[in-house]
Amino acid sequence: MSPHLFTPIQLGGITLPNRVVIAPMCQYSADDGSMTDWHHVHLGTYACSGAGLFVVEKTNVTREGRITHGCTGLYNDHNEAAMARAVQVYRGITRNPIGIQIGHAGRKASAAVPWQGGKALGPTESPWQTVAPSAIPFGDGWHTPREFTREEIRGLVDAFAAAILRAKRVGYDLVELHSAHGYLIHQFLSPLSNKRTDEYGKDRMKFPLEVARAARDVWPKERALGIRINATDWVDGGWTPEEAVIYAKELKRIGLDFICVSSGATVPYAKIPVTPGFQVPFAEKIRKEAGIKTRAVGMIADADQAEEILASGKADMVAMARALLDNPRWVWHAAEHFSVKIEYPPQYSRVHASVWPGAALARPPASVSKAA
């Protein structure tokens, strides 16, 4: 029987040839929201990877919604044209689907790139005024955001729809809303960051569900629409797995095709028990209780570990970030591990283990061996 990892899966109107998803990863290398040469290299690498789906980094619906000066956006024509070119590079290499994550950083915007400390931008670093559901900073030393007016919130729903329309024109197969990790949509959901007294505070799901509905209205049913959510803030008094299930049921009702289940990053002081597959039980809970396809993510790095998650029905797909940064050939090696033949770019076909005796020597044992 073929391994679950290499069984195709249908999401909305598209089919992923296998269930390994390259998770969205900010590259902090854009120029005023527009992709650069770096993105061509980065996307090109993953177009060669064999992954069933690659999701482009959190791309922001407004300029002020970027985390850093280097984050991608889809807020002007130049952003759209630069992204269309990058996606064209990707399409020239593989037939596998490509997706994009759409979001807004809210109070976590105006920050330095990680390799320059990742903290709030200082006065000489061209910071900007951040905006959020409530005027509560992310943590000590972070900018205090200005609270959105109700009119601005309605405008934000339109900004999400406009960016998604740009993503449609760029030609993505899949859109994933970013409703996790303490960014804007999640800031509305979490009682730690949403203290509003109007309808957007009394019903913390109101704005997120308005965005989901707007996305469903503009994104074609023949493609795939999903969302990444937090299952928990890992803090007493924060967003809970039970609320996440209620949210997931609503998202399913709106017509979303899948949910990627993550957690944390709402506040800097959360204590998170990071162990292999630590978020998988949340994906399982949402899959069982909300009845929607789920993607597990977080500390999944081993092929047998990934296979077990799918085979035991805990999730429908696995997403990986750091394992694929570390080893962009992870999928090739996992396929080899399970004796599955996958499509390589023809230029690279001579390294396939079936034709290259050196393959066994070249495999670092940790790439597909059992997790410690």
Ligand X SMILES: Cc1cc2nc3c(=O)[nH]c(=O)nc-3n(C[C@H](O)[C@H](O)[C@H](O)COP(=O)(O)O)c2cc1C
Binding site for ligand X (CB under 6 A): 23-26, 57-58, 101, 178, 180-181, 228, 262, 297-300, 320-323
Complex with ligand X: residue 181 or 223, whichever CB lies closer: 181
Complex with ligand X: residue 181 or 196, whichever CB lies closer: 181
Cα 24 vs. chain centroid, distance in angstroms? 4
Report whether 101 contacts 56 (CB < 8 A).
Answer: yes
- Classify residue 111 as exposed, middle or buried by CB count within 10 Å of its CB (0-12, 13-18, 19+): buried
d(CA 109, CA 63): 10
d(CA 249, CA 264): 21
d(CA 320, CA 306): 10
- Classify residue 130 as exposed, middle or buried by CB count within 10 Å of its CB (0-12, 13-18, 19+): buried
Complex with ligand X: residue 82 or 320, whichever CB lies closer: 320
Report whether 215 contacts 176 (CB < 8 A).
Answer: no
- What ranges make up the beta strands (E) of 32-189? 53-60, 98-103, 131-132, 146-147, 174-179
Which token pair is 134? 């409530």
d(CA 188, CA 36): 32
Spot the catalytic one: 75, 183, 200, 247: 183
Query: Could you tell me where the DSSP H helices lie in the chain?
Result: 37-47, 77-91, 150-170, 184-189, 199-202, 206-218, 241-254, 280-290, 303-311, 322-326, 330-337, 359-362
Cα angle value 334/340/343 (rounded, 5°): 90
183 catalytic, yes or no?
yes
Catalytic residues: 183
